[in-house]
Structure 1
Amino acid sequence: MGVVTPFPLAPGQGRPGQIGFDRPELMRILDLYGRMVAAGHWRDYAIDLGRDAAVFAAFRRAAERPEYRIEKRPALRNRQGMWALVNEAGAVLRRGHELGPVLAPVERRLMKLVEG
């Protein structure tokens, strides 16, 4: 058989050089995004996969700052939790260890948009 070469790690560190979303996490985020698009509230999104965090940003219009950012920071896993919901002004609205409760304020807002 052939030789398997592992992906290179960041120099001097035992962690990958890029943080990303797992498939179930991204599915949950994109499901929420799709429902907000269907409600006519969001129109665009961006994903930033960096060394310290993976960020999903949702926009009302493409030329604005994102209305919400969903951030995954594994370095905070043992402290406040690796998930954070950040508003347009940069204030952290919710932080936690699980994605579902962090997305709850946006889910509630979606229910108000659909009802009204």
Structure 2
Amino acid sequence: MSYQSTGSFPTSSLPEQVAFHRRELSVILSLYGRMVAAGEWRDYGISTLRDLAVFSVFRRTAENPLYRIEKRPKLRNRQGQYAVVAMDGQILKRGNDLAVVLRVLERKLIRAVE
């Protein structure tokens, strides 16, 4: 039995929306919980878009996000698919290992606790 493309199926192997997988969310939510316990963060939001997924963290609900944790699979072979972006748009850390990228925010937790 052979398979032929009929044109009705997308030719791209990328999904229609980029999303965080369960393991990725576990790593992010672990950091989020520690930051909430330290009183640094109060709320979060998750956006799944065509080219990227974003986990935004807020100090207060009605503010702009303090940080955005972005996943861009198209950058996997370049700068890395994960990035931490500050409120002003500055990229604080980028790479392919989510736990390593999030360490830039864990340093802020260490300062908050001291």
Is TM (by shorter chain) over 0.5? yes
Residue 61 of structure 2 aligns with an amino acid whose one-letter code is: A
**Corresponding residue of 1:91:** 90
Structure 1, unpaired ranges of 5+: 1-7
**Corresponding residue of 1:35:** 34
**Corresponding residue of 1:77:** 76
Q: Report the TM-score when normalising by structure 2.
A: 0.88
Deviation, 1:100, is 1.4
Residue 89 of structure 2 aligns with an amino acid whose one-letter code is: G
Q: Which has the higher contact order (CA 8 A, sep 6+)?
A: 2
Structure 2, unpaired ranges of 5+: 1-7
Residue 52 of structure 1 aligns with an amino acid whose one-letter code is: D
Q: Report the TM-score when normalising by structure 1.
A: 0.87
Give the Cα separation in 1 of the matches to 2:89 and 2:64: 10
Deviation, 1:97, is 1.1
SS at match of 2:46: strand
How many residues were matched structurally? Answer: 107
Deviation, 1:15, is 1.9
Structure 2 counterparts to residues 59-74 of structure 1, below 5 A = 59-74=58-73
**Corresponding residue of 1:17:** 16
Alpha carbon RMSD of aligned pairs, Å?
1.4
SS at match of 2:83: strand
In percent, how many aligned pairs have the same letter?
57
